[in-house]
Amino acid sequence: MYLITRRVLHRYHLFAPDPRMNRIFLYTLAVAAARAGVLVHSAVLMSTHEHLVVSDPEGRLPEFLHYLHRHVALATKVLRRWDGAVWDHEPTNVVELRTPAAVAEKIAYAMANPVAAALVRRAHEWPGVTTRPQDLGRAAWRIDRPSEYFTRDDERWPPNVVLRLEMPRAAHELGMSDDEFRAVVSQELEAQEATARSEVGERGGAFLGADRCAKLSPFRRARSEEPARSLVPTFATGRGNRDALIAAAERVRAFRLAYRHAFESWRRGRRDVPFPAGTWLLRRQHGALVAPTRSAA
């Protein structure tokens, strides 16, 4: 499972919430998820970036991201009459969620983003694409094909699609019912909303409000300060899970070491060297051997 984040170039509000932009994103997300076998758990589209929580049971996440981001960008360019890049030049941030606690925390984090950005006082007030705790495992959104970009005579673009928000397996790993997991996410969301409102108040700020958010110009840039990103996380384990944090860090180091050794052998001409499980590009483009994934016994 992963938390996906990608930003708009120069923090333009190209994804400013309006019915057409919301439909473009949800339609493309549904098509991309069905195409790559990805399960969508939560989706929040801010005016300057996206947050998704997804599962990748078939190991095709790079394919999903490429397809989603390419067609969202092309459709946005048509909608906004935008003559330039849509996405930031930084790569998509993909954070593996290694524990059930991390899943609940990051789903709530994505939901609370409009509050943390001082846009609305409560997450459910956000007029763009968003997810509520009660949507988890329940929502099934039917989205008609947008009139922008998606041509009727192209079989890739059906007249309508259904995007289902699947219940994360973390609920069952915690021994919880679906309703109990929704309650955990709801409590986490309330805590993050309260923290965000307190921080906005301490800064002397004010919330923009849903009505003004819906009128944001897509051609303006966000003016709030954004801290420099010194570290780019690749995994999360949730608060207080020190053992899981250490294990996850060791897992990343082991993968990178194994990959480096395999790649050095590959460059020397060995084509029978197995790369560690999780290797994508060399397998897809060059047919490199990849070791089987070890089951979590």
Domains of the chain: 2-220+232-240 (3.30.70.1290), 244-286 (no CATH)
Least confident piece of the model among 45-49, 64-68, 224-228? 224-228
Beta strand pairing status for 160-164 and 140-144?
antiparallel
Average pLDDT over residues 59-73: 97
Q: Are 144 and 23 in contact (CB under 8 A)?
A: yes
> Where does the pLDDT of residue 230 fall: very low under 50, low under 70, confident under 90, or very high at 90 and above?
low
Q: Using alpha carbons only, how large is the chain's radius of gyration in Å?
A: 20
Average pLDDT, the chain: 94
Q: What is the DSSP letter of 134?
A: G
Alpha-carbon gap, residue 158 to 296, rounded angstroms: 38
Cβ–Cβ < 8 Å for 76, 86: yes
Q: Residue 296 pLDDT more than 50? A: no
What confidence tier does 288 reach under pLDDT thresholds 50, 70, 90? very high
CB 129 within 8 A of CB 26: yes
